[in-house]
Structure 1
Amino acid sequence: MRALLLSLLLPAWTVQALRFDIAGRSVAHLKTINANVLAAEDHSDDISSTRDVLYIANVTIEGRSYPLQMDTGSSDLWVDMGSNTPANPTSNTLNLTYGTGNVFGNIAHGPVTFAGYDIPDQAYLVFQSGHNPVLSFGAQGIIGLGFTTLSHIDAAVTESWASSLLYNIFAQNPSEPNFIAMALERESDEHNTVHGSLGVGELAKEYESVSSTDHIPLFPPEGSKRWTVLLDSYVVNGATQNATSTVQDVPAGRLSVLLDSGTTYSYAPPEVAASIYSSVNGAFLNTTTNQWTVPCSGGIRLTLWFAGRAFDIHPLDVVVQSLADPSICIGSFIPTRIAVGASDFDWILGTNILRSVYAVYDFGDFDSNNVMGNPYVQLLSVVDIEEAASSFQAARGGTVPINSGNGSASTSVSVMTTSEKLDKLMNLIPLMFAALGANALILLTILVIGILALLSYAQAESQKAKSCATSSRDNGFVKPCLRGGANCGQRRTSIVGPHQTLDEDVVEIWLKALTFVALYKKRGRAYRAPEHVEVLFASSFHYGQSRRRQCLDTVWSRPCWRRCFSPQLTPHSARRGL
């Protein structure tokens, strides 16, 4: 188990329902519910606010209704049943520890109804002891709206009914959309126009346009156990602030933030809180409470950028009235360094931020193997900054610098899942094969042309050799003679006279003569026919005078023929001729 360390002193009334996370069972093997869901047509429920601290919906457990806090930061269901007792308690006990407070009790299971869905057998924890601030604000427990992999009950019990409440709802209705949609009202604002609601697989009619907004993937895009997304940038009074993440693999200039409806305020590093509040005249950091004390009239325009879109945060939620003393206002961003194991996120965004958006939390639909797809979030702004500035001025008497603009997002960097990467690769494979095919065709064409050229060259050389053999009979350079022929032993005129340099044409003729003799032999004719060859050539080949005379003036025998065709070529002037 990884511990959550929050280095702050929170007032007793502040609710933070962020849960520790553990490695639960894989969601791929949990769809084993036997009973069919008995669903009503309306799968939405009203959410009430208690002084803008927590948000409550009614959940029916074993026939009795209990007000429970809606918490996207945890995944377990627990309830203080009072004098009621569960029908199916187990011997398993569990201690659930939150950011503030803890609860201890036995795990039980039984029928549960939520947002019009009936789950015939659902696990929950029966509160026996502990302390949790939600019990002081009208709630009798918490319903976790996170992933089953974050559930302690699911890890402790190996039964299918131990999965999270939402997972069991979705598993019984695989053809239905697997999402929840939440709107949070602002109870302290007389001009509030948002009606709090929670829909399971159903959108509020006034916010149906959220379906056309971009899907914001969780980060990391695969294996996420929390509703963490990437924040492009944050802007204070029109000035884009520098952002540096401590989470592994987060793109430069962006931050990983957790969307947590179970937390009243937001938590960010001290330098972030300072960048938001330090410019307000009269604002200071209270080191006792570890909160910024800000004049109630200090209006701040805070803009958060997600997926390349700007979301203005209502000014009444950036500087809030203290519940202990409404005459004092505090900053709703608590300066905190969060360390959750390997640091899954940089900030926690609580209900002070979520009141400014209509949020859809999509768990991903089931595929043919009963495995949920990749989850994502969709956000729709419910704040008109001009109307919000007017509400702030009416309530606090201060102004909000709305003309400062909402800044800009950092350079967008796409974050792809493994399946998306594979899809992109599969799309590139045909292009790769096409390119390889084109290259192969070019190489094959070059090869064919090369072979044809080589054959043509060989044929041309053969024709040259034949032509040389025919012409040699007339020119007398290389002349075969049959045994006892009339021309055998006759002298011919030299083609190079005395004291002349060796001409290139002579060399060419000499090489053709050799080619002719070689071809003559290759064609299968008797080696001894011709047995006598008469050759006239220049004196530029270096060998003894007597041997030359012997080879040229007499009828050659086979040994003499071979000796005469093995001269050493000298590059200098020709020696004396015949």
Structure 2
Amino acid sequence: MAYNIQTMWCSAKFYFPVLVALFVQRANALAVKGTRRSPHSPGERRAATNGNTIFTLLSNGTDDNEMDMRYSTNITVNGRTFEVAIDTGSADLWIFPPADFVFNNTGIAVTDSYGDGSTTDVVGTIGFASVQLGGYTFDSQAFNNATTVGLGGILNLGLEGLMGFDFGVETSFIKDALAAAHLDETLGEPFLSNIFDQTPGQENFLAISLSRTGDLEGTADASFLISEIDQRYADVVFAPAIPLFPGTNGRWSIQIDGISLDNVSIAVTPSTVAGTPPGKIVALMDTGTPTASFPADFIDRLFSAIPGSVQAADGSWTIPCDTTSILSVEIGGQQFPISPLDLSDVDSSTGTAICSSPFLVVDGTTEFDSLFGDTIMRNIYSVFNFGDAVAKAPTDNATMQFLAQTDPTLAKADVQNVRMARLYGQQGTSPAGFAATADTTASSTPGSSDALLSKYGPIVVGLLGANLLVVLILAVVGLVLCVRRGGQSAGRIRTTQYAPVKVQVGEDETRALDGYEDKRYSD
């Protein structure tokens, strides 16, 4: 295509793009200097109900274990909404209602005990009310009308109660209190048992994916479904069904085949649960516990295998914040990698990042050896299959199925792109124990945008400024040429004609995003 260059310099068609370029440069500069925020900040919760499906962004706290997390959902009790923690390690429902809350109060005293049974007690009276969860409602659900709450990390996080999702065979304090009052203890069945009893033709299971915001794994949107499978994890239906073990206590406990760190086996502490094969342990899968618990000697073996870890005189462990070691848990012949972000809790409150073991010490019991709380379960999509488990047959055929959610390669990148970027953004300098290579690692995750802007912003702004200077120079040259051309004969100006260019449009290679479809569960 031919075009008179001097005509170009004097044409408004030239200066209009120049002005646009100046505007874009300015806009880009403002965007680089500004702060870009993720659509959902840490701690934000959002929920939507679709029939029997409950989707909730469930995390409290940060995206990187700086404080304990609780996972919650909304229930409606006698028309009033309560946000409650979800707990597969217990059976009862308790709420801490306001003074004007109206319900059927029996006055029967009840105490739900958690942990050591001392500072974690929830004391109240047994009440009955209509309870709705998602698309399910039970009109006369028993609950603990709590007046004293000793369970930490619930009320101080703004939550208003806790709902248990195990079988309630040996873990329902409400049923025990009713029996002690010479009343029918089946009136105190857990919510899910009541729901499954009134829907006998439905498969009885609960499917849970816990969330971590700001990582590369795409787990910001958690899911919590009754008798439905999240389509994103539909392959879980092909996973082996793991029977409960020992299977006599009505709890979600299973055998763990082994534990390794960076593909090297870590010897487990011999099981205290009768009948457990050598080299295996029994773990309770518990969404109501923010961390995980192991015997002290196993914790020592684990963290002594992580390069750079240091044990203090009191037995606690400090771990390099930039460790990329991958813990892996074997269940039913499957390996489930655990993100390095879950191998330590971060404390940056003093201005220097300190990363310590997130695991608690537990002595073995006759029911389980370890407790796999949120630290482990964030990495696994879990299906809690009650089988024929209703109030009349609480543990028959109950199994669990699992699907790994953590990709080891992406999880290692998260250490740089999530943790280090966030800590750099907060502190501005490299925290002690961080790798020297951190300064050269780029990130594309939402959680690291602030750090990247702080780090590379000046460079980008400089490049934008250079581009702006080039545009201005071109504009000045164009004006000079246009002025020089002013004395020349207008008859020498040629009219340029453009022939339309035919554009061949191929088949559309894009497609709309697949709609969400709930997948019914089947073995």
Task: Give TM-score, length-normalised by structure 2.
Answer: 0.64
Identify the match of residue 41 of structure 1 among 47, 51, 66: 51
Matched, 1:265 2:275: no
Q: Distance in 1 between matches of 2:379 and 2:386?
A: 22
Higher relative contact order (CA 8 A, sep 6+): 2
Task: Write the letter of the residue equivalent to 2:253.
Answer: T
Query: Following superposition of structure 1 onto structure 2, how do residues 177-576 of structure 1 map, counting pairs within 5 Å?
Result: 177-187=203-213, 189=215, 192-220=218-246, 222-243=247-268, 244-286=270-312, 288=314, 291-322=316-347, 327-334=353-360, 336-340=361-365, 343-365=366-388, 373-394=396-417, 395-396=419-420
Identify the match of residue 151 of structure 1 among 168, 172, 183: 172
- 1:148-168 per-residue CA deviation (whole Å, 9 max, x = no partner) reads 212111222225431001100
Match of 1:62 in 2: 78
SS at match of 2:415: helix
Q: Distance in 2 between matches of 1:261 and 1:136?
A: 18
Q: Distance in 1 between matches of 2:56 and 2:410?
A: 25
> Residues 337 and 360 (structure 1 numbering): CA distance in 2 closer, same or farther, change over 3 Å?
same
The question of whether the paired residues in 2 share the 8 Å contact of 1:43 and 1:202 is answered with yes
Matched, 1:124 2:143: yes
Task: Write the letter of the residue equivalent to 2:58.
Answer: S
- 1:82-115 per-residue CA deviation (whole Å, 9 max, x = no partner) reads 2233421002111112126221111000100012
- 1:142-189 per-residue CA deviation (whole Å, 9 max, x = no partner) reads 101111212111222225431001100111111111110001111364
Identify the match of residue 92 of structure 1 among 102, 105, 108: 108
Q: Distance in 2 between matches of 1:54 and 1:118?
A: 24
Q: Distance in 2 between matches of 1:368 and 1:129?
A: 29
> Residues 46 and 268 (structure 1 numbering): CA distance in 2 closer, same or farther, change over 3 Å?
same
Q: Distance in 2 between matches of 1:295 and 1:337?
A: 24
The question of whether the paired residues in 2 share the 8 Å contact of 1:174 and 1:365 is answered with no
The question of whether the paired residues in 2 share the 8 Å contact of 1:57 and 1:70 is answered with yes
Offset of 1:320 from its aligned partner?
Answer: 2.8
SS at match of 1:242: coil
Match of 1:162 in 2: 188
Unaligned segments of structure 1, at least 5 residues: 1-38, 401-578
Q: Distance in 2 between matches of 1:367 and 1:109?
A: 20
Task: Write the letter of the residue equivalent to 1:169.
Answer: I
The question of whether the paired residues in 1 share the 8 Å contact of 2:57 and 2:220 is answered with no
Unaligned segments of structure 2, at least 5 residues: 1-48, 62-67, 179-183, 421-433, 439-523
The size of the alignment, in residue pairs, is 357
SS at match of 1:264: coil
RMSD, matched Cα = 2.4
SS at match of 1:353: helix
Identify the match of residue 135 of structure 1 among 145, 155, 174: 155
The question of whether the paired residues in 2 share the 8 Å contact of 1:43 and 1:117 is answered with no
The question of whether the paired residues in 2 share the 8 Å contact of 1:298 and 1:319 is answered with no
**Percent of pairs with identical residues:** 29
Offset of 1:194 from its aligned partner?
Answer: 4.4
The question of whether the paired residues in 2 share the 8 Å contact of 1:174 and 1:366 is answered with no
The question of whether the paired residues in 1 share the 8 Å contact of 2:239 and 2:403 is answered with yes
Matched, 1:115 2:140: no
Offset of 1:276 from its aligned partner?
Answer: 1.7
Q: Distance in 1 between matches of 2:253 and 2:356?
A: 26
Q: Distance in 2 between matches of 1:154 and 1:350?
A: 25
The question of whether the paired residues in 1 share the 8 Å contact of 2:250 and 2:394 is answered with no
Offset of 1:273 from its aligned partner?
Answer: 0.9
Task: Write the letter of the residue equivalent to 1:241.
Answer: I
Considering only CA atoms, is the larger Rg found in Structure 1 or Structure 2? 1
Task: Write the letter of the residue equivalent to 1:58.
Answer: N
SS at match of 1:167: helix
